[in-house]
Structure formats: structure tokens, C-alpha cells
Amino acid sequence: MSKINEIKNLKRQQRIVSPSQVLSEDIKEENNVSSKVERKRVSFDLRTDLHQELKLQSVIQDKNIYILIEEALTNYLKEK
């Protein structure tokens, strides 16, 4: 078999993961039972300076932007 065919076969065997599968993650609860967190893709406008700061914090904290937004919203809603 040629090298090209080997590469093609390897590509075909790779598991394809959809964006919604990536966004669904296991969360360990207090009693070590894992549960799935479902997420909803949303779209909204954000000031460019906030977006730049969010991207910077994402790199500094080594977290995804959506995690930072979830944490901020969770803290905000707890205060209400």
C-alpha cells in the first residue's frame, strides 16, 4: 500500500467530533457522580475592548472563553 493510501485510511479511521459534542462535558459533583452539562450555543454582540480583555484572560488563565463567561455569569447570578 502506498504512503498516501495509508494516510487516507488513517484519516478515515479518525473519530469525528461535532462542536456540540465538544461543548458537552462531564462534571464531577460533590459525591463524585459525574453528570453531563448541556450547553446552548448563543450569539451576542460584545464591545471590542471587552472581547480583547476576555481573550487575553483566556490565555493567561489557560481556560476557554466560554468557561470564563460561565464563571462570570454564575457569580453575577449568585449575587442577585
Q: What is the mean pLDDT of residues 70-76?
A: 95
Q: Is the pTM higher than 0.75?
A: no
> Is it the case that residue 78 has pLDDT exceeding 60?
yes
User: Is residue 35 within 8 Å of residue 25, measured between CB atoms?
Assistant: no
The CA distance from 11 to 8, in Å, is 5
User: Is residue 23 within 8 Å of residue 41, measured between CB atoms?
Assistant: yes
**pLDDT tens-digit map of 18-57:** 565 556 555 555 565 567 788 888 999 999 999 999 999 9
Average pLDDT, the chain: 80
User: Is residue 68 within 8 Å of residue 54, measured between CB atoms?
Assistant: yes
Q: Residue 37: CB partners within 8 Å, gap ≥ 6?
A: 24, 25, 26, 27
Q: What is the mean pLDDT of residues 60-77?
A: 94
Q: Specify the pLDDT at position 72.
A: 95
